[in-house]
A and B are shown apart, each in its own frame.
Chain A
């Protein structure tokens, strides 16, 4: 039987420093064995444990879309022991990946609907994968209007900048970028994500909202979505928790009777309201 604790070996193929603070890097990982690559079937919203032998593991959302063949992207903020070690890694280093883990954004529900993405800070990763997936020519016709609202503290803290500016120019999505405080050259929105959401006021009818960001952003975004007419079962959030096994056994990432690693990380707002407020 397959051992879910064994990391799949991958090579760091590229490292991109994402922000001015230089504490967020995107790692492009390539599987060492073709059969591992073929077996790694995932959808946006899922995550994996990045594994460094001798150091440990940490759960990180998959930032690439399955339509991007041949590699996986993980955008990692330097925070704890494993992420710090990862930030010291170099191109060519071998690490491990364990996954894909968790559930996905509700692509079945999103089919033939409008999709609204609301995100802040470095939580944009699995939503970047979602945008990339929907924009793929093989998938785009399955979804209607795509609106993306993404914010960061400053222009220098935005992730995937060149991609954001390319998306702005496209006519098959509405890309809205905001920063809390702009600099001299900033010509886009200035202000918090919930305020920009309120200003843009996307229609709630037949729209699925995907929300991921820091707790404070989520706290103020949900009331705006409700005001706009979004129902709790059309709002989906992606959560994070301290994890170890990633397969619903080690017991620490639960919110009530749901394990974030296995039953999540994506939950509808309606599901979350039935769970204890302990996250």
Chain B
């Protein structure tokens, strides 16, 4: 058991294998994996498999709670009765998540859990999972978290916050869930000193300086109140409508529900969907309220920076930069924000 300390605890880097070994006794662990150069989260059995110096994973971890495809129910033609599918859950730890991804999960919690009725599939996975966050010491060039209310040491969504100091980790339990993790592990730690905190603050400040703040986000949001703004036409010209931004986005949560039938049995499946596709809003009558790329791009930007603010009180962008990295025609959401903010 790790004792609770006011400033957190210090774990020597050499004890990381012990920490992971201890955690695996209680939890299934997923973390950025060396197998894939830290590009993806994979099951972790020992600390050597972890790639904790990664920038950011390619896919966001949203699929742990909201899989790209999941069966909601199944049925066979004999009795025509729908039987509920239940996700298999066991105590799980997401280890070494970046603060932006943890923040994004706190937004997904709002979508799936804050309004009645709650989503039972999401809830079962979420309740079984705890999040150990690792602050960023060296953000990527595409990161813009500080512009959108996140940051290299953002704590929201994390149960435990970890900071990599020179040869050791500073760890802080932030929630009862985090304290529960501490009680479940058996590894030697020391209380953090004020000198450790100074070192941590210094690293965070350096990281913050590396993330360029490029625009006044409030000015941009103010402009979005003009739904008919003249900028959409021009911004949409470049977009192919491929929707890859929505698949990589850690806060995008739109989904489709379809029926799949094979021979005598079938299942009702939920899959990720994208507002960038024309079928997303096409009525059976043929009418489409968002008929073109302009309308659909507007929806994506407005949903994140305007509608979600109204609906959930949060901006549904955490500045992870995945949409910038993966857009095939180099659309940069930072540029969109700038263009709109600076439009006179």
List residues of A whose CB falls within 8 A of some B CB.
1-7, 9, 53-58, 79-80, 83, 94, 96, 215, 240-242, 244-245, 247-257, 262, 276-279
Contacts and interface: CB of A to CB of B under 8 A. Distances in A.
Given A56-B259, A252-B275, A241 B73 contact: no
Contact of B280 (A58, A215, A252): A252
A244 B75 contact: no
A199 B284 CA distance: 34
Given A244-B255, A252-B281, A94 B295 contact: no
A153 B73 CA distance: 42
B303 A251 contact: yes
25 contacts: A5-B120, A6-B73, A7-B82, A53-B75, A53-B259, A53-B266, A53-B268, A54-B77, A54-B261, A54-B266, A215-B287, A242-B280, A242-B284, A244-B256, A245-B255, A249-B111, A249-B255, A250-B254, A252-B280, A254-B299, A255-B289, A257-B306, A257-B308, A278-B227, A278-B290
Contacts of B72: 5
Contact of A249 (B119, B227, B284): B119
A1 B284 contact: no
Nearest to A253: B281
A132 B11 CA distance: 71
Main secondary structure of the interface of B (DSSP, over half): mixed
B307 interface: yes
B89 interface: no
Contacts of A278: 227, 289-290, 295
Nearest to B83: A6
Contacts of B119: 4, 249
B253 A244 contact: no
A172 B295 CA distance: 47
Contact of B117 (A80, A247, A254): A247
A51 to B, nearest CB: 8
A57 B227 contact: no
B115 A55 contact: no
A252 B227 contact: no
A58 B259 CA distance: 12
> Which of B82, B255, B283, B290 has the most C-beta atoms of chain A within 10 angstroms of its own C-beta?
B82
Nearest to B257: A244
> Which of A5, A6, A253 has the most C-beta atoms of chain B within 10 angstroms of its own C-beta?
A5
Report the 8 A-B pairs with minimum CB-CB distance, sorted nearest first.
A251-B254, A80-B284, A257-B310, A257-B307, A79-B284, A276-B227, A4-B117, A54-B261
Contact of B283 (A2, A242, A247): A242
B227 A251 contact: no
A53 B80 contact: yes
B166 interface: no
Contact of A3 (B120, B227, B306): B120
A242 B281 contact: yes
Contacts of B295: 278
Contacts, number: 104
B81 interface: yes
B82 A53 contact: yes
B282 interface: yes
B256 A249 contact: no
> Which of A58, A94, A242 has the most C-beta atoms of chain B within 10 angstroms of its own C-beta?
A242
Contacts of B283: 240-242
B121 to A, nearest CB: 8
Interface in B70-94: 72-73, 75, 77, 80-82, 84
Contacts of B179: none
A125 to B, nearest CB: 15
Contacts of A56: 257-259
B64 interface: no
Contacts of B214: none
Contact of A54 (B75, B117, B253, B306): B75
B18 interface: no
A250 B306 contact: no
Contacts of B287: 215
Contact of B80 (A2, A94, A215): A94
A83 B302 CA distance: 32
Contacts of A9: 81
Contacts of B280: 242, 252
Interface string B301-315: 011001110110000
Nearest to B283: A242
Contacts of B196: none
Contacts of A240: 283
Contacts of B308: 257
A219 to B, nearest CB: 14
A257 B224 CA distance: 12
B195 interface: no
Contacts of B194: none
Contacts of A250: 254-257, 273
Contacts of B77: 54
A55 B259 contact: yes
B253 A79 contact: no
B14 interface: no
B284 A83 contact: yes
A12 B266 CA distance: 22
B51 to A, nearest CB: 33
A201 B227 CA distance: 35
Contact of A241 (B117, B227, B256, B289): B289
Contacts of A256: 227, 302, 306-307, 310
B104 to A, nearest CB: 15
Contacts of B75: 53-54
Contact of B82 (A80, A96, A255): A96
Contacts of A4: 117, 119-120
Nearest to A255: B289
